[in-house]
Structure 1
Amino acid sequence: MSKTNASVLLAAGGTGGHLFPAQALAEELGRRQLVVDLVTDMRGDRYGTGFPARNTYSVPAATLAGRSPIAMARTAYQLSRGLGAAFALLGKVKPAVVVGFGGYPTFPPLKAAQLRGIATILHEQNAVLGRANRMLANGVSRIATSFDTVKLLGPELQPKTRLTGNPVRSSVIEAARRPFWSPGPTDSIELLVFGGSQGARYFSEAVPPALALLPAALRQRLHVTQQARPEDAAQVTAEYGKSGIPAEVNPFFADLPDRMARAHLVIGRSGASTVAELTVIGRPSILVPLPHALDNDQLQNARRLAESGAAWCIEQKDLSPERLAREIEGLLDAPDRLGAAAAVAKTLGRPDAVERLADLVQELMAQA
């Protein structure tokens, strides 16, 4: 295949945390007139129509769901099926570079690329190297990171590691143009609450009762935008109505980056994409890491922001409605603290991450 016809294959699992940076890279590679294909697991099918790729392929994959011999055997069997399918797919597509965005669904395509001698890039979005990425790290051509230091990324891997940042979508870059403004004593206060697929239920149960404990004068100034599961949305809306708090509650917001830019305070999980978007846009946040994560990646992400002064990290086990109410009231009564955190968050953002990662892709393409 000539270099002019070479394509790039992106491998990403079917969650937003993996697909959003892949989508951002696909957009940038498209602007550079490069052909992009996507390979994902079965969960990623619902993203196929909106992902800017020539073709979207699915290969079998599995996430390690337990440590029992039976669970491990099932995972190994499914990944072996995926490896065979990915090996055949690469023989058909013949990409110049394969870029993986972490998680077990990217294991088969990247391992198959290594077996075929195709250049590979592994992108780690979090502050700790994930389990699947640790299995792949020794064999890939380059490792791209979102943080300047990544836990469990050994010194032997540093020569092929490049700091790029975590790519964000074009809509996030557009939202980042809106400057943060601290609310005055009588101004309306915009509060954004979202938790993704693994956090919406918790925030539906935790945030409305916490906001109900705020002083009436503060509640009257609030406007809440909250993501909630379809089965919870009516109840959450009703609870806010009882507290006299105007709220917009929906399962999904297509314009979430714009709503983030309008927010004076964000309450959410600390997945890699959320952290990247908060820092590129530059917004203060209370982060509640997803508990019991395999690698504690969200806790590491949140701590990095909290240590820098860009956010406040509270573990879920320590968070009662009363404490959350105290934290929110303290911040909303001190808008200078919100402004300072927003400014720090902005300094941590890497809006050029997608350009850096695309440059790395083209560097490897030139060597192919």
Structure 2
Amino acid sequence: MTIAPLVFLAAGGTGGHLFPAEALGVELIKRGLRVRLATDSRALRYSGLFSGGTIDVVPSATVHSRMPWSLAYTGAMLAAGAAVSFNLLRKLRPAAVVGFGGYPTLPPLVAARLFRIPGVIHEANAVLGRANRFLSSHVSAIATSLPGALDRDPKLAGKTTTVGTPLRPAILAAAAVKFVSPEPTGPLRLLVVGGSQGARVMADIVPGAIERLEPALWSRLVLTQQVREEDMMRVRMVYDRLKVTAELAPFFSDLPARLASSHLVISRSGAGTVAELGAIGRPSILVPLPGSIDQDQFVNAGVLVQAKGALRIPQADFTPDRLAAEISALAAEPARLTAMAAGARTIGRLDAAERLADLVMKVAGI
């Protein structure tokens, strides 16, 4: 019996990297191929397509500092990862290696280059990340989620295809839910999320903004907010005092469904968030994470702003007064929310997994 070709996926151990890898894996399996995942130890917290038999932990480290000892540690970990990846690829001989960003993708794709195995990288952000920038000249093809990712590197345009971000089944299901504009005096469903690096600023700013709204709006709000445990009590006290209907939690396992039921989302602008807002088509106020070298979240948010699907507020300007003014204005114009939902939907690509699978199979000659 002929053994099905193997596609080796490599991704950093965060949801932003793992979820697109999993979505591609599901599509490739549908097509009769086998998949394995190379990642770091953080991925072991996630459950899904990949189990102990199809996941390989590859040593890696991220550049956190330019201090000599830090760079030496990162270099040593990446070298160890390269050795592990070299042995894996020599034994498994995959038809292709696909990287989804993050430093854990470096060792497998470098090993693939040495073995002359076709390599593909997928960039979810609107600008190439550091790992993908390094790999871009060493792979057979580059897939991007958002237009403009290679504006800085036009020489790579010939091997670049914009496919979108492969989406989890739960997001695809949520995308089937049509946006229904809020009634002028009816419930206004507000979802506030931020991830581990964003929930703190949301806890600092959003309650004060809600407090500054007209009291008539308090009774309309149906608020869902991601809040860290250490911030839970102070946030809860504000909403209880205002008698605002609010559900607070550090994590929501059914976030796609909550996105679909929202009239307005307040969030960071990571690549996964922007892709999901586009796929589902929901209006948003985006607060890019400051301080990143590439300003990727600022650029990501700009894609939705250009599509008239979002408002972008730099964190320095993200104050209770500013946020209250924006929420009030949007609540008073339901038609504007509807138009923003439609604008966001224009950047959504529901067939991204299929498009990326087509590209991978073409590169691999399958």
Deviation of 1:324 after TM superposition, in Å, equals 0.8
Q: Deviations over 1:78-126 (max 9, x none)?
A: 1111111111121222211111001112111111111111111100101
Partner residue of 1:279? 278
Deviation of 1:55 after TM superposition, in Å, equals 0.8
1:50 to 48, 54, 73: 48
Partner residue of 1:65? 64
Q: What letter matches 1:51 in structure 2?
A: L
How many Å separate the matches in 1 of 2:59 and 2:165?
26
Q: Pairwise mapping of residues 126-205 of structure 1 onto structure 2 (< 5 A)?
A: 126-151=125-150, 153-205=152-204
Unaligned runs of 5+ in 1: none
Partner residue of 2:290? 291
How many Å separate the matches in 2 of 1:309 and 1:228?
28
Residue range with higher mean Cα deviation, 241-250 or 260-269: 241-250
Matched-pair contact (CA < 8 Å) for 1:237–1:248: no
Query: SS at 1:167's partner residue?
Result: coil
Partner residue of 1:88? 87
Q: What letter matches 1:98 in structure 2?
A: V
Report the TM-score, using the length of structure 2 for normalisation: 0.96
1:268 matches 2:280:
no
Deviation of 1:235 after TM superposition, in Å, equals 3.0
Q: What letter matches 1:78 in structure 2?
A: M
Q: Deviations over 1:99-155 (max 9, x none)?
A: 100111211111111111111110010111111111111010110011222145512
Provide closer, same or farther for how the CA distance between residues 261 and 86 of structure 1 changes in structure 2, counting only shifts above 3 A. same
Matched-pair contact (CA < 8 Å) for 2:4–2:32: no
Deviation of 1:33 after TM superposition, in Å, equals 2.2
Residue range with higher mean Cα deviation, 357-366 or 163-172: 357-366
Residue range with higher mean Cα deviation, 283-292 or 108-117: 108-117
Identity of aligned residues (%): 52
Q: Deviations over 1:272-293 (max 9, x none)?
A: 0000000010000000000001
Query: SS at 1:283's partner residue?
Result: coil
Unaligned runs of 5+ in 2: none
Matched-pair contact (CA < 8 Å) for 1:98–1:110: yes
Deviation of 1:333 after TM superposition, in Å, equals 1.1
Report the TM-score, using the length of structure 1 for normalisation: 0.96
Q: Deviations over 1:225-274 (max 9, x none)?
A: 11122222333223211121111111111111110000000000000000
Q: Pairwise mapping of residues 199-238 of structure 1 onto structure 2 (< 5 A)?
A: 199-238=198-237
Matched-pair contact (CA < 8 Å) for 2:126–2:300: yes
Matched-pair contact (CA < 8 Å) for 1:144–1:162: yes
Deviation of 1:208 after TM superposition, in Å, equals 1.2
How many Å separate the matches in 1 of 2:302 and 2:147?
14
Q: Pairwise mapping of residues 340-351 of structure 1 onto structure 2 (< 5 A)?
A: 340-351=339-350
How many Å separate the matches in 2 of 1:260 and 1:318?
25
How many Å separate the matches in 1 of 2:102 and 2:250?
25
Matched-pair contact (CA < 8 Å) for 1:164–1:353: yes
Query: SS at 2:85's partner residue?
Result: helix
How many residue pairs get matched? 365
Residue range with higher mean Cα deviation, 66-75 or 254-263: 66-75
Q: Pairwise mapping of residues 299-310 of structure 1 onto structure 2 (< 5 A)?
A: 299-310=298-309
Query: SS at 2:364's partner residue?
Result: helix
The RMSD of aligned alpha carbons is 1.5
How many Å separate the matches in 2 of 1:32 and 1:234?
49
How many Å separate the matches in 1 of 2:247 and 2:162?
38
Q: Pairwise mapping of residues 237-252 of structure 1 onto structure 2 (< 5 A)?
A: 237-252=236-251
Matched-pair contact (CA < 8 Å) for 1:279–1:345: yes
Partner residue of 1:74? 73
Query: SS at 1:291's partner residue?
Result: coil
Matched-pair contact (CA < 8 Å) for 2:38–2:58: yes
Query: SS at 1:248's partner residue?
Result: strand
Q: What letter matches 1:50 in structure 2?
A: G
Query: SS at 1:199's partner residue?
Result: helix
Query: SS at 1:225's partner residue?
Result: strand
1:114 matches 2:113:
yes
1:355 matches 2:357:
no
Query: SS at 2:365's partner residue?
Result: helix
Partner residue of 2:257? 258
